[in-house]
Amino acid sequence: MKSPIYTPISELSKQIKKGRISPVELTETFLNRLETIGSRLNAVVTLTRGLALKQARNAEKEIDEGIHRGPLHGIPWGAKDLLSTQGIPTTWGAEPFRTRIIDTDATVVKRLRDAGSILCAKLAMIEFAGGMGYRQPNASLTGPPRNPWNIDTWAGGSSSGSGAAVAAGLISFAIGSETWGSILSPANNCGVAGLRPTYGRVSRHGAMALCWTLDKIGPIAQTANDCGIILQAIAGPDSEDSTTIQRQWKYNPRPLKQRPHLAVLRGVVDDANQDVRDNFDNALKTIRGFADVEEIDLPYLPYEAITRTILNAEAASSFEDLVDSGLTQRLTAPEDHWGPYARSILLATDYIRAMRLRGKMVRTVTEVMKPFNALVAPSAKKPATPIWEEFRKVAPGTTKDVMGAIGNGCGLPAISVPDGFTSLGLPTGIQFMGNPYEENTILAIARAYQSMTNWYTRHPPDTEP
Amino acid sequence: MSKRSKREAEILLSLVNARYGDRVTAEELEEIQKGIDSILDSSEAMHIVKLENGDEPYQFFKPYGEEK
């Protein structure tokens, strides 16, 4: 039988339902891989072996008795370590919280448990999800998160372990979170699929708050189709999170009825790495086989300044007591000791101006995007950077990232899937960013692209089963 | 950065120094200065766009509960 390690959830689920794959054996396989390969990659904070085996035995018993809860029943997963889990440490990637237990399950954890999924690990992340302004990969209590494609490069962040664990076949899927780039970055660097849902689609209850109006939780998996399956299990209203969208979301795995109409922002690849540009150009040629693609301009607004000001102000407030307490002096990255100080002086009037401009930004972007099913762009402007190298030498917010600014500032869904490799063998990604609430549209486009390419079928050589 | 912002940056840096000066080195303070400059650059960029009196923040406050 084909190894289950890189098997997409849709296929794995069928095998489990038919009794051809045992959830207990599958879980043991992944636990062993997490323990051995995971520790080499610095991808795991806590292995939840006892809980996982208990959940796996329950799943196996239920399935044997003919009870099947759905496509995630018996499927192992890993949680970014900012999701609270009862009785298990939740570190937020930060050394001062190495043994801290928040004794409640996040809504996402509860929903996946109810779906019959098996929690195998709390996965590594950048300390405070990058909320202290880190500049280099070594900003996590578990060490610099290594990329399975080349362990001397970075897995991306801040959902670093989530990206690395899926790419290395240590787990079937993982949950990450994004405030600005934290799902798309590891998906890009590790060559996997990462879905950032519409703001409010997934409850943030029980997750660390970095920025209340920007934080989103979403899946990282082998394929776009898997991301849709997982999103259905975790999406939906939650009385514990007032920002959740009140309508239940259902995954539609069917193709779009009409040929998609996509747009590329003029100049979006101008400052990208050459390999990223080449792979993006090739991807567009493939995409033109099933979609119309048009180059467009966005009217001028200071997009990065607006979203960055919101992020700075909310992060300054959400971590104010923690920073004042001096606890940040014990963080792993030296720049995170003083990183949050600058934004403590941000004026309230600037935050409110940013929130007022956000209205203009939302209306402008929505109007521009209305005729299109999605914007297309590289997921990141460069592939994974060396593990000991600063990936930014300047203060956060000074680099250009219109897609990140409008996507996160307007709460738009986006999915990243691999679109090729660099000359050094590192994956690059392409993102499809949709109109609000249109996850099914971008998933359909990403699936169509994946059906015409085989990048997602390639796996890091040292981790092949 | 404008002349006005440069002066503001100096004042804001002294505020950071007053709050956290005992925790940072001179070198780190220089980096914090760059962070403040970046925040003020964003502020300047946002002030280029004209806002009308009725342009409300895109965040809605609503009283707790529902009307019966």
pLDDT for A465 equals 59
List own/partner pairs for A96-100 with CB under 8 A and 24 or more apart: A96/A327, A96/A330, A96/A331, A98/A141
Q: Is A116 left (phi over 0), alpha (psi -120 to 50) or beta?
A: left
C-alpha span between A46 and A124 (Å, rounded)? 9
Q: Looking at the DSSP assignment, which residues form a beta bridge with residue A123?
A: A44, A80
Judged by a CB distance cut-off of 8 A, whether residue A395 touches chain B is yes
pLDDT single digits (tens) A75-91? 999 999 999 999 999 99
Length of chain A: 465
pLDDT single digits (tens) A178-237? 999 999 999 999 999 999 999 999 999 999 999 999 999 999 999 999 999 999 999 999
Question: Do the beta carbons of residue A382 and residue A400 sit within 8 Å?
Answer: no
Phi, psi of A246 (to 5 degrees): -80, -10
CATH of domain A9-463: 3.90.1300.10
**Distance from the B4 Cα atom to the nearest Cα atom in chain A, whole angstroms:** 15
Instruction: List the catalytic residues of A.
Output: 80, 158, 182
Instruction: Tell me the residue type at A162.
Output: S
- Closest to A302 (Cβ–Cβ): which among B23, B32, B49? B49
**Are the Cβ atoms of A395 and B48 closer than 8 angstroms?**
no
**Are the Cβ atoms of B36 and A344 closer than 8 angstroms?**
no
C-alpha span between A407 and A218 (Å, rounded)? 14
Q: What is the DSSP string of A122-189?
A: EEP--GGGGTT---SS--STT-SPEETTEEEEE--SSSHHHHHHHHTTSSSEEEEEESSSTTHHHHHH
**Distance from the B2 Cα atom to the nearest Cα atom in chain A, whole angstroms:** 16
Q: Which residues of B touch A309 (CB under 8 A)?
A: 39, 42-43, 46
**Are the Cβ atoms of A398 and B38 closer than 8 angstroms?**
yes
Residue of A nearest to B12 (CA): A345
Q: Where exactly are the structural domains of chain B?
A: 1-68
Q: Looking at the DSSP assignment, which residues form a beta bridge with residue A365?
A: none
Mutation test of the interface with chain A: which of B42, B44, B47, B53, choosing the one with the most A Cβ atoms within 10 A?
Answer: B42
The model's pTM is 0.97
pLDDT single digits (tens) B3-48? 777 899 999 999 999 999 999 999 999 999 999 999 999 999 999 9
Mean pLDDT of residues grouped by 10 in chain A (465 residues)?
88 96 98 97 98 98 97 98 98 98 97 98 98 95 98 97 98 98 98 98 98 97 98 97 95 98 97 96 98 98 97 97 96 97 97 97 96 98 95 66 97 98 98 98 98 97 72
Residue B59 has pLDDT above 90, yes or no: no
Give ∠ CA A188-A294-A189 in degrees, rounded to 5: 5
Q: Looking at the DSSP assignment, which residues form a beta bridge with residue A421?
A: A427
